[in-house]
Amino acid sequence: MSDPLVLTSTDGAVRTLTLNRPAALNSFTAAMHAELRAALDAAADDASVRCVVVTGAGRGFCAGQDLNDAGMAGDDVDVGEVIERLYRPLALRVRSMPVPVIAAVNGVAAGAGANFALGCDIVVAARSASFIQAFSKIGLIPDCGGTWLLPHLVGRARALALAMTGDKLSAADAQAMGLIWQCVDDDAFADTVQALATKLSTMPTRALADTRRAIDTSAQLSYADALRLEADLQRELGRAHDYREGVAAFLEKRKPVFRDR
Ligand code: T3D
């Protein structure tokens, strides 16, 4: 039997999904897409999971589309169909997860691999990692959400320069320009990711997912409408267990035990 293309491990309430095609820098094949989607769906459906970490096996995070994968590159391929069938659902799945999703970028993240990472909630990268909008080098535009994510994260000027040049961006520079949350020395990377994932997994999961929803939705709203959405979400959260537990724990000077999801 062949190795799984996505390795799954669980530590407490943290589910780690490891892209596992290291010889090709974990580039996406149709088969890896299917396993990744199934693994994300399984994590979403498992009430014991309260944080997901995605990372890569070996020296890379993900080199984007596998340019050798049969049926996904070549003369008669409909790239738009590939994007609709595989990358759009993947990007939307990440954004609709009921738990926070951390991209632990252990090495190079190129093309759709970079934008898959940037679409996660919090991106932590090892100092030796890098980000490459490789699309322009092969005659494409950024996909997997790149045309939306890049300007929202770093503004139009930097988005266009990153996308047009396809130049490699170090993890340190990615942090400095606000493209990612954190660049961490390689020898502290695993511990930093684990500590962050464990922390998030003990927090009020439903409120974290609604935080993502409110922030993502606000991009399309007026200020007044964003305030209204905040009220709507806060109304629901205010009726839920975790709010009562959070306030009670504060008043009783104890650690809260959150359970909503
Ligand atoms: O259907 C569609 O095409 C639509 C979807 C588009 C979405 C996209 O993601 S388009 C962008 C696709 N990705 C790329 O263009 C990146 C291609 N890779 C690279 O430019 C370089 O590999 C990196 C800059 C990422 C890393 O360079 P380096 O020098 O560290 O490693 P390497 O030697 O180039 O790669 C190591 C191996 O991985 C090598 O295999 P080998 O020679 O040892 O057998 C290389 O061929 C393989 N590899 C890396 N990226 C890909 C890949 N194989 C297939 N597809 C890849 N994308």
CB atoms within 10 A of CB 71: 10
The whole-angstrom separation of Cα 114 and Cα 144 is: 9
Q: Are 56 and 93 in contact (CB under 8 A)?
A: no
Centre of ligand 1 from the C-alpha of residue 183, in Å:
23
Ligand 1: nearest atom to the Cα of 132: 24
Reading the chain (261 residues) residue by residue, the pLDDT tens digits are 789 999 999 999 999 999 999 999 999 999 999 999 999 999 999 999 999 999 999 999 999 999 998 766 667 789 999 999 999 999 999 999 999 999 999 999 999 999 999 999 999 999 999 999 999 999 999 999 999 999 999 999 999 999 999 999 999 999 999 999 999 999 999 999 999 999 999 999 999 999 999 999 999 999 999 999 999 999 999 999 999 999 999 999 999 999 999
Q: What's the whole-model pTM score? A: 0.97
For the segment 95-114, what is each residue's pLDDT rounded down to a tens digit? 999 999 999 999 999 999 99
| Ligand 1 center–CA 184 separation, angstroms | 24
The pair of three-digit structure tokens given for residue 158, joined into one six-digit string? 């930097």
Query: Do 186 and 126 contact (CB within 8 A), yes or no?
Result: yes
pLDDT in tens, 12-50: 999 999 999 999 999 999 999 999 999 999 999 999 999
Q: Which residue in this structure is represented by tokens 């990472």?
A: 117
Residues 6+ apart with CB under 8 A from 51: 13, 14, 15, 99, 100, 101, 102, 197, 198, 200, 201, 205
Q: How many angstroms separate the alpha carbon of residue 176 from the centre of ligand 1? A: 26
Nearest CA to ligand 1 atom 55: 66
